[in-house]
Structures are given as C-alpha cells and as structure tokens.
Structure 1
Amino acid sequence: MLAYRHAFHAGNHADVLKHLVLSEVLRHMAEKEKPYTLVDTHAGAGGYSIEGQYAQKKGEYVHGISKLWDAKDLPAPLARYLEPIRAFNSGGQLRQYPGSPAIANLLMREQDRLRCYELHPTDYRILDTYLSTRPNTQVSDKDGFSSLRGELPPPSRRGVVLMDPSYELKTDYGKVITAVREGLEKFADGVFMVWYPQLQLLESAQLPQRLKAAADAGVGAKKGWLHVRLTVQQQSDSRAFGMLGSGMFIINPPYTLHDELQECLPYLVEKLGQYDGANFLLEQRAA
C-alpha cells in the first residue's frame, strides 16, 4: 500500500524480532563459501532517522531498540544483531535505524546477490541511492509478490526470501500464502521468512496455520519450519486494533536458529514486554 511508511515504526519491537531472525539467517548463509541470494519483497527505504518527525511521532523505538542499545547483559545472538545497527550509527549514539536492506548490506559479502523490491516512490529512490554502489544488487520499484517467481531459483541454488508487507490491505495475507506456495514449487530448498503482525483480526490469527499447511503441502519444505511470536502489549478492550506483537515464520530454517531464539526470547519478553502477561511462542517442525 503506497500510503504506508515504515519510518513511523522503525526500531519497534517487531523490527527487533524480524531483524534478529534476519541477522542470524544471513550469518548462517555466509558460513559456506558459495554465494547466496537474498530477495526482499517489501524492502522499504533502507534506513530511518530515529530523530526524525516520523519516528518521533509515535516513538515506537522507545519500547524496541532503545531498550537494548545500552544493555550489558545481551544474549550472544542479540549482541550480534546489534552489531550492524551500531555500524549504521556513528559516535555510539542511536540516531538511525537500518531497515532490512541496510542490515543485509552490512552482513552480506560482495559475491552475494541482493534483490530489493519497493513500490513507494520516495522509499524506492532513497533505497536505490543507498545501494547504488553495492555489487550484485538490483533495486526495483515493481511489486515484490508478483516478481518473486522470476527470482527463483537463484543461480547458485542458495537463497533467502524475506516477505514483510504492511498488511494494511487484508489481501496481503492471501498474497503471502500464494507467494510461499509458488516459491516452494520453484525452490524447495530456499529459506522463506515471513513476518506478520499480531492483531485482533481473523486473518492475522489464521496466517501461521495457513503457512504451516503451505510448508507441509505439495513439494513441501525440505528442512521443516520454525514459528516464533513475541507478544508485548495487552488488548485494552474488544474494539482494540493495535499491534499486540508480531511473529516470524521461517521455512527451511538454519538448524541453529531454534536454540538461538530460545536463548533470546525470555530476555526480549523481560525487556520489551509492556504488561505483566508479555510472552513468547517458539515451535518447530523438523523435516
């Protein structure tokens, strides 16, 4: 949806969970010398000013990245997650928050291929400029969902797909399922990561189950799936529509990811939880 700007939400609890997973997956992919491809279907602007009017309007980063920035007792995976964010800032102060393309740029090797899709014209121009000097990179203002099939399978047969639409349109839920099914048909070995918001909506509640069915059906996921959810806010009443938390569904996850998240999630509940009932869910199905 062209009205959506992630700058309002940069560095919030959902970004922490999403980019923690992204960081660990990309580090795992880099353990092998053979190059890999990352396809980011909803890339955004690449970076966001924490001090700018958008981020300051809602201040969501205050209950997200700011809670971790000066912490001294971070579990190792969270400390690794913070490394590219610190590199994105200078002087030791948190002024900017990197989006997924910037984190990828800081973690990927020159031989690894990066493919980014972003429809918002302003964010597309910012991202295209930011990544203009990176080798093996293409930034496109085409629809990421419809373009994904053309990216799979990648030349090296090693690849990661990140899908994190805004879900402001309910049709995004169905598009995610279709993209996952079609992606697995073309590239059953690929790592598919889907972010979703935890909302008081039927579509949001049903999405993890639909993703499980998609991962298990047809060609199927060769290495199983992993589902993680972090709930940080409490529904205030039956009419509340705010985001209570968020989740990540990973198909063909690295074998190390479950234990890495298990180490971090109790810490994130303690640091990012905004009510006494804050909690997490971590489930996995091996191949």
Structure 2
Amino acid sequence: MLSYQHAYHAGNFADVHKHLTLFAVIDHLLRKASPVTYIDTHAGRGLYPLSAEETARLGEYRQGVAPLWKAREALSADPLLCAWLSSLAEVQHRGGELEHYPGSPWWLSHRLRARDRLVLFELHPGEYRHLEGQALADNVRRVQGDGLEGLLRRLPVSTPRLCVLVDPSYERKTEYAEVAGTVLAAMHKARHAVMLVWYPLLLAGRHHALLETLRDGGLRKIWRSELVQRESAEGERGMVGSGMLVVNPPWGLDERLGEAMGRVCPLLGKGSRHTGDWWVEE
C-alpha cells in the first residue's frame, strides 16, 4: 500500500515531538568535528505549505506547531526550543507568520556540514516527485525506494559516525515487525549508530510488539520518549500520542528534551504529558 501522504498531518503534535528529538540529537552530534552520515528511511516531501489543500483539510498543525509558534518568545528561555524555533523561522517567507512546516529532509539537510552526508529514501512516487523539487544541500542524495532495505544495503558507511531516522507511516500492521527486524539488523552492522525510531501511540496497542522486540534485542542503551496528547475516551479509535526510541542516545539528551517537552505539553492541550525512561542492558 502506498496511500499515505504526510501532507495531511504536517506540523501536528507528533511532528513537533519527532523533529524536536531529531534536532536535539543533531545538535549533540555537531559538537564533534568528525563527519556524520545521516539516513532517513521514510523522507516524505521535505517542506509543507500549511495552506496546501491536504494540510489545510485536517489542520492538525493548529494543535501542534502553531501554539508553539505563537508562544515562541516565552519558549525562548529554553535553549533547545529557542534554537529549534529559530530554525523554523528560516523557512517562513514572512517572518511573523507561520506559512510552512519542514519535514525531516529539511531538518537534516539544514545543518549538514561539508563533510557530512545525507541519504533520503522515499518509496511513494508522488511524494518522491515533491522531494526531488525541494532545494537541499549538495551533499544530499535522494533515492526512490524502500528505505528499510536501502538502509541495510548501505551499511557500513564510510564516515566515523552514523545517525538514522526510521519514521514509517505504519499503514500496514506488518511494518512494526519489519521496523524492529531492520533496526536490530542495522545495529548489528553498525553498533555505534545513533538510531531514532518513531512510532504512533494507538489505542489498539500495536506498538507494544515493536517495543518488546527492541527491548529484548540485545541493544546496549535505549531511551524512550513518549508524548501523550490527550486521554482516550471509551470506544475511541486513532492515535493519541507519539513515541520516539533513541538507540545509543547522546549524553544529556534525556534532560534537554525532557525540559523542553515540559514547556511544550501545556501548549498542546489539557491532557498532554511527556514521559521518558531508559532501557539499559546490564
């Protein structure tokens, strides 16, 4: 199935959680001079106009990035949020208005150094055409194809460090097992890699098998971050939260992101809350 298009959900609370985590990880990686290869297995379009028909139809950004943008002066007291929102301001054509929301290809390419490398995988033909049209750094390679298979084919990489974002739509139930298997296989080939895995918090609980497989997979250190946007009502269906697993997280990531999310949650609604915990192999 290739029906999923992220434009309908661009800038929602899950994007805020996902991209703030990614931004914080990149920030840590840039503190060292050695080059990094970044791989994005499910890239999407790269940049989303909030006025586009798909994005405006659901308007999920109104309960996601929009409240943060309105409160950006107050949020500037937090260093991570200040830097993230300053970067977000760079893609707005009129500085005071929120007109665009960048996807992971932009967040990754925006901070590439000359010796770093970025590979973007996107399987959906229509989404890939949008990605091809995005202006990105010269050391970015776009590949139309399966990102999970492509990741394993490209390992090991030539740079000393590797950072991978795995962010599928999970429109197929089998994707949870596919992601878990790919992450464990990739970490076997590149044990030093920093791996970020996004997953939806669904009332159906499909993410539990993914978490259990990775928790029991022999990985040395994982940090789990979950953002619950709202409490679920009886009989309700759908996504109520966003999860991020970071394998081999940089030192201090938990504290920096925890503090930032503590400021973000009150802006996302009454039921919003963030939790983080460690899985460390003894």
TM range (shorter): over 0.9
> Which residue of the other structure, out of 270, 277, 280, is the alignment partner of 1:283?
277
> Which residue of the other structure, out of 232, 238, 244, is the alignment partner of 1:235?
232
Q: Is the 8 A contact 1:231 1:280 kept in 2?
A: yes
Task: Give the TM-score taking structure 2 as reference length.
Answer: 0.94
Aligned to 1:117: 121
Q: What amino acid sits opposite 2:15 in the alignment? A: D
**Where in structure 2 are the equivalents of 1:59-74 lying within 5 Å?**
59-71=59-71, 72-74=73-75
Task: Give the TM-score taking structure 1 as reference length.
Answer: 0.92
Matched, 1:175 2:175: no
Distance change (3 Å), C-alpha of 1:209 and 1:79: farther
Q: CA deviation at 1:154?
A: 1.4
Q: Tell me, in whole angstroms, the C-alpha distance in 2 between the residues paired with 1:282 and 1:244.
A: 17
Structure 2, unmatched stretches of 5+, are none
In angstroms, what is the RMSD of aligned CA positions? 1.5
Q: How many residues align?
A: 277
Aligned to 2:262: 266
> Which residue of the other structure, out of 69, 77, 99, is the alignment partner of 1:95?
99
Matched, 1:210 2:218: no
Q: CA deviation at 1:135?
A: 2.3
Give CA-to-partner distance per residue, 1:153-176, whole Å, 9 cap, x none: 210130101001001111110011
Percent of residue pairs identical:
36
Aligned to 2:152: 149
Q: What amino acid sits opposite 2:52 in the alignment? A: G
Q: Tell me, in whole angstroms, the C-alpha distance in 2 between the residues paired with 1:264 and 1:225.
A: 19
Q: Tell me, in whole angstroms, the C-alpha distance in 2 between the residues paired with 1:157 and 1:211.
A: 24
> Which residue of the other structure, out of 189, 194, 208, is the alignment partner of 2:197?
194
Q: Tell me, in whole angstroms, the C-alpha distance in 2 between the residues paired with 1:232 and 1:145.
A: 28
Q: CA deviation at 1:148?
A: 0.9
Q: Is the 8 A contact 1:198 1:205 kept in 2?
A: no
Q: CA deviation at 1:110?
A: 2.4
Aligned to 1:166: 169
> Which residue of the other structure, out of 255, 278, 286, is the alignment partner of 2:251?
255
Aligned to 1:18: 18
> Which residue of the other structure, out of 130, 134, 158, is the alignment partner of 1:126?
130
Q: Is the 8 A contact 1:43 1:117 kept in 2?
A: yes
